[in-house]
């Protein structure tokens, strides 16, 4: 079982719709959770971080964390063509003493005008 799992996609959404991305992780003691966005041919950039159960909103983005079920999700509201990218879920497993960020394989999102 991979430590961090994501559906590879592509997730195709019409412009203006909500894109919903999911990520599950295996280490129940994981402490920190991140969503990175990566445009094709570019490097990843952080868009959201979440550390406690519940929702965290930042503009059009909402991260949701459920530690009991071991999943973290990302919602993109009012999706725009510029949101077309690969979204990487990243987790710090407790066994790594906080220095190792484990990434999922990423979900490719396509927003169609």
Partner 1 sequence: DAGITQSPRYKITETGRQVTLMCHQTWSHSYMFWYRQDLGHGLRLIYYSAAADITDKGEVPDGYVVSRSKTENFPLTLESATRSQTSVYFCASSEGPALTGELFFGEGSRLTVL
Contacting positions for partner 1 (CB under 8 A): 31-32, 34, 42-46, 49, 88, 92, 96-106
79 or 92: CB nearest partner 1: 92
The distance of closest approach from Cβ of residue 39 to partner 1 in the complex, given in angstroms and rounded to an integer, is: 12
Alpha-carbon span 92 to 104, nearest angstrom: 11
The values of phi and psi at residue 17, to 5°, are -85, 175
Cα–Cα distance measured from residue 69 to residue 82, given in angstroms and rounded to the nearest whole number:
31
| Nearest CB to partner 1, comparing residues 41 and 113 | 41
CB of 16 to partner 1, least distance (A): 29
Name beta bridge partners: 45.
37
Nearer to partner 1, 20 or 31 (CB): 31
């Amino acid at each position: 079982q991979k430590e961090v799992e994501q559906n590879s996609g592509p997730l195709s959404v019409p412009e203006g719709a909500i894109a919903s991305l999911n990520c599950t992780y295996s280490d129940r003691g994981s402490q920190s959770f991140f969503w990175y966005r990566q445009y094709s041919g570019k490097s990843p950039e952080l868009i959201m971080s979440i550390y406690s159960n519940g929702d965290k909103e930042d503009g059009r983005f909402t991260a949701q964390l459920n530690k009991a079920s071991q999943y973290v999700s990302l919602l993109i509201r009012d999706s725009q063509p510029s949101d077309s990218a690969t979204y990487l879920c990243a987790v710090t497993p407790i066994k790594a003493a906080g220095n190792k960020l484990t990434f999922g394989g990423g979900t490719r999102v396509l927003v169609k005008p």
